[in-house]
Amino acid sequence: MKLSSGAIRLIIPALSLAALLAAVFYMQPRAMSYTGLNLLFNLAVPIALATIAQMIIMAVNDLDLSMGTFVSFCACVTATFLQSDPLIGILIFAAAIAVYAALGAIIHIRALPSIVVTLGMSFVWGGLAVLLLPSPGGTAPEWVRNIMVARPPFIPVAIVASVVIALASHFLIMRSSLGVLIRGVGGNARSVERSGWSVVGIRAAAFALAGLFAVLAGIALVGLTTSADANIALRYTLLSIAGVILGGGEFVGGRVSPIGAVIGALTLTLAGSFLSFMRISPDWQIGAQGAILIIVLGLRILLNRLETREKNQ
């Protein structure tokens, strides 16, 4: 039975997650429990949300190098204004999402490289985060904390939330009209434009949607950490890109997999959490995540070549 490229995009990240989880259970049998799983996947939700945000931008053939600083900024807003004055916090988030939409439009209209624009914006978001919280502090809103530390029966909240994120983003990107247009712009923008759709509007909508998921990532992160600082999510830029690629996404062509992206985020979270659980240096955690990414990419390239060879025979 031949597997489609879409199936390969899901099978490889799922197998990598299962293999890593099996290794964790073998080395630490006590992790095979509600509490153990909760510890291993504790930070999965904000990473999964940031990965989906990055995936949406990659779906239109762009890349966001400000993801980590933007999530940090959103975390600072959550721990300050959203906690003390929710209305102002919501207005700040709405303005930030509007800025994201404007960036998507400007990048297309002026034919600017998204890497350069978003890299520049990373300094803007980082500066705003420092202005809000010059030093670590703030407090998580009570309702956010209650959601993130909830204890549903049988399955930890991080896994439940990750499944919800995967299904919701799959419907949004793969099934909805907006998702089809976003992927269409990534695959063939001229065809979308010939069909009467505004490519500028679609790209602006894609960036705004990515901004919304990144805002949710910042809120979820504060719900877990109970406070924030300007550098709390700097690693999310590389983690989000790695999660998308690990989950079967491509840098061009509008080829993305929302479910695979969430699985990729879970895999990277599991790798980092397990090494932290073993009291191993964060430097080794980054190396382990990079090694997992390289191995999975190698497997995917190998399977793609085998599939291409079979088609040519």
Average pLDDT of the chain is: 87
For 179-192, the pLDDT digits (tens) are 999 999 998 889 98
Flag whether pLDDT at 211 surpasses 80: yes
CA distances from 62 to 132, 238, 244, 250 (A): 29, 14, 13, 11
- What percent of the chain is modeled with pLDDT above 70? 88
Q: What is the DSSP string of the chain?
A: -PPPHHHHHHHHHHHHHHHHHHHHHHH-GGGSSHHHHHHHTTTHHHHHHHHHHHHHHHHTT---TTHHHHHHHHHHHHHTHHHH-HHHHHHHHHHHHHHHHHHHHHHHHTT--HHHHHHHHHHHHHHHHHHH-SSSB----HHHHHHHT---SSS-HHHHHHHHHHHHHHIIIIISHHHHHHHHHHHHHHHHHHTT--HHHHHHHHHHHHHHHHHHHHHHHHHHHSSB-TTTTTTHHHHHHHHHHHTT--SSTT---HHHHHHHHHHHHHHHHHHHHTT--HHHHHHHHHHHHHHHHHHHHHHHHHHHHHHH-
CATH number for domain 5-306, candidates 1.10.10, 1.10.260, 3.30.420, 1.10.3470:
1.10.3470
Across 58-72, 109-123, 152-166, 299-313, least confident range: 299-313
What is this structure's pTM?
0.91
What pLDDT score was predicted for residue 1? 47
Given a contact cutoff of 8 angstroms between Cβ atoms, the answer to whether 264 and 246 are in contact is yes
Range 158-177 average pLDDT: 93
What pLDDT score was predicted for residue 8? 62
Give the CA count within 13 Å in the CB-facing half-sphere of 85: 6
Flag whether pLDDT at 101 surpasses 60: yes
For 30-68, the pLDDT digits (tens) are 878 888 888 888 889 999 999 999 999 999 999 999 999
Write down the domain spans for the chain.
Answer: 5-306
Range 125-153 average pLDDT: 92
**pLDDT tier, 249 (very low <50, low <70, confident <90, very high otherwise):** confident
User: Which residue did the predictor score with more confidence, 38 or 301?
Assistant: 38
